Amino acid sequence: MKILLVEDNRTLSQWLARTLEADGYTVERAFDGVEADDLLHTEAYDLVILDLALPAMDGREVLRRLRGRHNAVPVLILTAHGGIQERVEGLDTGADDYMAKPFEVPELEARMRALVRRANQQKNPILACGGLHYDSNARVFTLAGGSLALTPREHAVLELLMMKAGKTVSKKALADSVFSMDEEVSPDAIEIYVHRLRKKLECGDAVIVTLRGLGYLLKPRHEA
């Protein structure tokens, strides 16, 4: 899952990015509103964490422009301005949730998970595809009742396929969700991770199907 963190306090930004990365998220950072607006024009994210009091361009304007482009990426406002009026303005501008600083990381991550589930029309935190199950709260996969050992990259690829189970996910969408824009990525990287995942899923009844020219599809084996 790739997140854009928009926060001008570099100490807080670095700490929060490291914390989220340690929990398996891919995090890109912007330090002012103009930089954030530029990134949101060109990059795809699963979630945006947005401060309001930003230099160069206010966070509300970043949000207005984002929604004006009909971009529906979930946005969680994280700001020191926690008054009722600020919350109302943020939510009315198009934010999906609001947290005031200071905050607790477990609550932040719980809200992040809820927003991503909602964006993917998933109400149940336990996702299933045949005998493959994913606890989106604990962020743990199980296959046929046993835990599934995955590298961080394999986990990120399978997580997106699971969130979109039954729907085609393009190679670009997978790459955008797994890698930050600063990383050197081989054109074959996603194919390599999908190949490894197929090997690990062989003992179960969930398969990753390749749709040439379109992408990949996770579905139960009997439907493949």
CATH architecture, range 126-223? Orthogonal Bundle (1.10)
Query: Which parts of the chain register pLDDT below 50?
Result: none
Sheet of 47-50, strands arranged across: 26-30, 2-6, 47-50, 75-79, 97-100
CATH number of 2-119: 3.40.50.2300
Q: What is the pLDDT of residue 20?
A: 95
Q: What is the pLDDT of residue 187?
A: 63
Number of H helices, E strands in the chain: 8, 11
> Can you give the pTM of this predicted structure?
0.82
Cα-to-chain-centroid distance, residue 192? 21
- Of the CA atoms within 13 Å of residue 41, those in its CB half-sphere come to 8
Topology match between the domains 2-119 and 126-223? no
Q: What is the pLDDT of residue 39?
A: 96
According to DSSP, the β-strands at 2-6 and 26-30 are: parallel
Q: Which two tokens stand for residue 84?
A: 């009722």
Q: What is the pLDDT of residue 47?
A: 96
Of the chain, the end-to-end C-alpha distance in Å amounts to 26
Domain boundaries, the chain: 2-119, 126-223
Q: What is the pLDDT of residue 49?
A: 97
pLDDT (tens digit per residue) in 98-109: 998 889 999 999
pLDDT (tens digit per residue) in 43-80: 989 999 999 889 999 999 999 999 999 999 999 998 88
